[in-house]
A and B are shown apart, each in its own frame.
Chain A
Amino acid sequence: MQLQNVTILCFFASYTGALILELTQFLRQSRVLLWSSIALTAAGLFAQTIYLVERSRQTELPPLLASTQDWVLVSAWLAVAFYLGIKAWDRSLSMGVFVLPLALLLVASSRYVSDQPNPRVAISYQWSMVHASFWVFGIFGVLLALVISVMYLLQHNRLKHKKAELPALHLLSLERLNRLNWWLIVTSVPLLTLGMITGLWMSYLSAGSEQPVSLINVAFVANALIWIAMTFLFGWLLVAKNATGRLVAWRTVLACLFLLVTLLTIKFLSADSIHARDLV
């Protein structure tokens, strides 16, 4: 098979199949189906890796810098790789039902965002790489915090309502979920901050170039709002003394949803005049 023939549909189908198999565990626990789900996920990840490598080869840019589409796909790739890593560590943990829908959402979204290479990479390749890495890892951390918070809320709800654990939904303890959530926010927000700072620095560097970046645009305002929202959450987490895990989880979910909706909206509306080829 030619590597160029690998399309987004290939790994989207693999992840969908894996999610369906994961959901069947709620109806009937089966080792075969569980392994099949893991195998499909791994196959999807392999296909996605090939796709990203091939795209990178075509654009002669690393995936993080190639285009908005690649950037979204890298986020999905990280989520799936993280999921498989968790499965290798503890097979009993039910992560698939949380991570796979998120990965599918990102992969599906990638169809609707620009796949054209970012023209401003030329201003400073190194700074672009640093800026993209901070943002992608920051956003990846926030998305993971969303998953962990949803898990926390489900576990909390089960324990408060005194229900027995579903065999297909084995989650981490509240104590660990709360700790993970805290660390994810506390590490993601500085990454997002560094992403903002490097972005501002690149905007300053572009001032004398042929394609200067204006900060008066929707994308910058939206990204700044995301950063402010996450920074508020970060500050509150550090100073709040009597915050319950449930409250932290709810606030994290809201902040993360705000981030996700804002990011995808500006990408869908092609309002990203900073990272896209077509300027508004």
Chain B
Amino acid sequence: MLEINFRQMPLRWLRILNIAIVFGSVGLCSMLLFLRLPGMELIGTNPNWLLIWVVVWSIKRNVWQGAIAGTSLGLIYDALTNPQPSHVLSLVLVGILTASLRKQRYAQEDFITVALIVFVMVIVTETIMALQFSILFANSLENIRQHYQHRILASAIISSIWAPVVHYPLNSWWENLRKIEKLKTRLK
């Protein structure tokens, strides 16, 4: 029913709606970072919502789009925590990796694959963050490893469990949008 309504809308309006959804979902994800609800927490860590968003965005887009999303969300993440070390590097890498993963035939965009990608990406980003920390503050890598090993794993688990919450609505919206766009351009 909803889809039919969308189909009748002019393409321009749909695109504006899409921008609103993109910006709105990023805003929502950034606010969720502060929230600690029961079930959303595992040994003091909550899901890395911005990383989930970057993965969901990049999964069906090209490398450039992934990188730009990574840059933007990295900047937002920096604003929400501390600018040093920056999250931009790790999130850009997540965008690029996820976008290039698509070309291989592993990812069939179901819940489990998305959860798996998020799991791996959290470990990748946190490893990069750990390296950045050790370079910046000249901490020994051993020290950092001890402190963060279990928290990185907890973060990866909780993020991948919550990934479908972001993936499902956004993915189905973009899927529909693509269909409608194809239909409309063919009609032209």
Q: Do A and B bind each other?
A: no
